[in-house]
Amino acid sequence: MDYLAQIDKKKTPVHVAIIMDGNGRWAKKQGHERLYGHNFGVESVREVLKASTDLGIKYLTLYAFSTENWNRPKEEVDGLMDLLVRSIANEIEELMSSDVRLLTIGDTDGLPGSCQAELKSAMTKTEKNKTINLALALNYSSRWEMTNALKQISRKVSSGEIKEAEINDQMISDHLTTKGIPDPELIIRTSGEHRLSNFLLWQAAYSEFYFCDVLWPDFKREDLFKAVLDYQSRERRFGMVSEQLT
C-alpha cells in the first residue's frame, strides 16, 4: 500500500517525536550483543529523517539516551557514547547537504567530553540550516527538565526578577530545554511498549500517540508514513466538542 500517496501534506504535523525502542531485542533476535542493534538503528534514523523532510515536518525529536540509561551495563553505555560520536562525525556532510539543523535537549553537560565537543561542532556548523530541525534527546529526563525549570523560576522569584503571579504555562515552557521548539503533535514509540518513559511529559499534554510493534532497526519510511496517516485520521479537539471544530 502506498501510504505516502494518501497523506495530506498540508496537514502533516509540524513536530514529530520518536521513542526509538527495540535495538537490544532486535540484536538478540539476530544472535548478537545489544550494541549490534544500536548500530543498525542508525540506518533507521537516516531513513526517518529523510522521510520527515519529504513530508515537510519541521521538527523531529529522537529519544536517544535517557538519564536512566546510565544504569545499563558499562560496555553498552561506553559503546553508545562511541557510536554517538562516530555517527555525528560521519553524518555532518549529509546534514549540511540536506539542510538539517541539529539541536539537543537534555543535560548534555553530563555527557563525556568527546560527545559534547562533537555535538557543539555539529550544531555550530548546521545552525543556519532551515529545512528541518533534528533534536536529539541526550541524557534527557522529563522530570529532571521540569525540576530544573522550577529551580530556575524559583531563583528568579527570590531575586525579585519575576513575581510569583507572573508564572504561567508559557514561562515554564520557556525554562525547559525544549524552549523554542513547538510541542509535538505526534509521539511515536516503537517495539510494542506503551509508555512515555520520562519523555516530554510537559510537552505531550495534547500530543497524539502512536504505538507500533516494529523494533526500531526495522522501522523505515513506510512505518513513519503509516503513523502520520493514522494521525491525520484523528480529530484533535483540545477539550472542545466536535461541533465546535466545524
Give CA–CA dist 123/182, Å, rounded: 19
For 51, which DSSP code?
Answer: H
Residue 10: Cβ within 10 Å count? 6
**Residue 71 phi, psi dihedral angles, 5° rounding:** -80, -5
E-strand spans in 116-232?
132-140, 186-189, 208-211
Q: Measuring CA to CA, which residue among 231, 234, 184, 225 is closest to residue 52? A: 225
Q: Collect all residues with Cβ–Cβ distance below 8 Å to 239 and sequence separation of at least 6.
A: none
The secondary structure of residue 34, as a DSSP letter, is H
21 is catalytic: yes
Is there a catalytic annotation at residue 107? no
Question: Which residues are CB-neighbours of 65 under 8 A, at least 6 positions away?
Answer: 80, 84, 106, 137, 138, 139, 140
132-140 sheet: strands from edge to edge:
100-105, 132-140, 59-66, 15-19, 186-189, 208-211
- Of 39, 54, 69, 129, which residue is the catalytic one? 69
Residues belonging to the active site: 21, 69
